[in-house]
Amino acid sequence: MNIETVNESSVLDLLDKQIVHGLVTDPRISFARLGAILGVSEQTAARRCGALRRRGMIHVSGLVNTVPLGSPSWILRLQSTPDKALRLAEALTRLPDVAWVQLLSTGSEVTCVSRPRTLEQRDRLLLDTLPRASQVTGMIAHEIIHRFPLDEEWPRYSRLLSPEQLRELGASRRLKADRADPDVTVDLSDDETLLAVLARDGRASYARLAAETGWSATRVARRMAELTAAGVLYLDVDFAIERMGYAVRASLWLRTHPADLHAVGTAIAGHPETAYVAATTGPTNIVATIVCRDTAHLYRYLTERLGALDGIVGVEVTPALRVLKQAQSMLRTDRIVPAAPAAARR
């Protein structure tokens, strides 16, 4: 197939996957730079990336890491009745500080990630909003105490690039929560418009960000660099995994001996199926998200990769029946839908 041709009905070809890896490595990389590294024109790189967005396969967003703000994230498991679980999940997607909303395959449990910026926001959700919701019949809250860095971000397409191309792309520029400087104090009171635009489009140009904020492009670039250096702002790429040929997304809730927790989490972070793994408080002490081609792949993962690890004393597997919201983007069936413009936080 001619490299210039984009088949809207296909999954991903080689160039698509290389572009995806470039975006995962540096979500704001210019199309000129990306094209030069991959050996295609700037126009081809831009057209391919645009096609991936139109097909609802990828979305780049700017996110706030709440750890430097003194507020860790939480993973919530919410029990409901089968007739109300979907309504609960849909309501959670509308909360700006809630991400990764999933209806589990049981049909009566919803999981989500809460990223409160303040203790007041945390308490409002955990102690007021959710306990008062009629759809919620039970709740387990897991505080995320450590995120294990992956050896390579999912979907792990680095093997499709040459060593020289990988060197040019450089090391991943994503900032992880455990790299934040605890002594840095950040005030976001003047940044809400900037953060709101980046949440909708992490690749928004400096000119567009300047127009939205009323700042100069130089000031926008400087402030983004400051927030990134402080570990507060990071960029993330969401994927519609079904459209990429992956039918199963599952959460693993593991119990390990305390002495084995770090070794088990580190080992899982190296598995190619792993998209996320963290140590948590609660009745289980590790949670992981894995992505598999199908249920046979899931079975092999559990029996071969996970089963080979020492120190695991219990595991619960909860496949996602539906994912309604990812880090920032909404999903409609198997397609990412553009986020509607939202007012900045007040």
Does 278 score more than 90 pLDDT? yes
Are the C-beta atoms of 318 and 106 separated by less than 8 Å?
A: yes
Query: Which residue has better confidence, 10 or 163?
Result: 163
| 3-state class (DSSP) for residue 235 | strand
pLDDT for the residue 11 = 78
pLDDT band at 172 (very low <50, low <70, confident <90, very high): very low
Section 20-36 average pLDDT? 96
For residue 120, give both structure tokens: 């007041």
Nearest Cα to Cα of residue 16 among 58, 65, 67 = 58
* pLDDT tens digits for range 51-97: 999 999 999 999 999 999 989 999 999 999 999 999 999 999 999 99
Residue 214 falls in which region: left (phi positive, over 0), alpha (psi -120 to 50) or beta = left
**pTM of the predicted model as reported, rounded to 2 decimal places:** 0.88
Q: Which residue has the tokens 């040929």?
A: 245
CATH level 2 (architecture), domain 242-322: 2-Layer Sandwich (3.30)
Section 44-52 average pLDDT? 96
| Strand stretches in 182-247, DSSP E | 233-239
Does 176 score more than 70 pLDDT? no
The C-alpha atoms of residue 228 and residue 251 are separated, in whole angstroms, by 29
Does 2 score more than 70 pLDDT? no
pLDDT for the residue 220 = 98
The per-residue pLDDT of the chain, averaged, comes to 90
pLDDT for the residue 340 = 59
The C-alpha atoms of residue 11 and residue 244 are separated, in whole angstroms, by 5
The C-alpha atoms of residue 228 and residue 146 are separated, in whole angstroms, by 20
Does 330 score more than 90 pLDDT? yes
Domain ranges of the chain: 242-322
Are the C-beta atoms of 280 and 145 separated by less than 8 Å?
A: yes
Does 171 score more than 80 pLDDT? no
Are the C-beta atoms of 329 and 238 separated by less than 8 Å?
A: yes
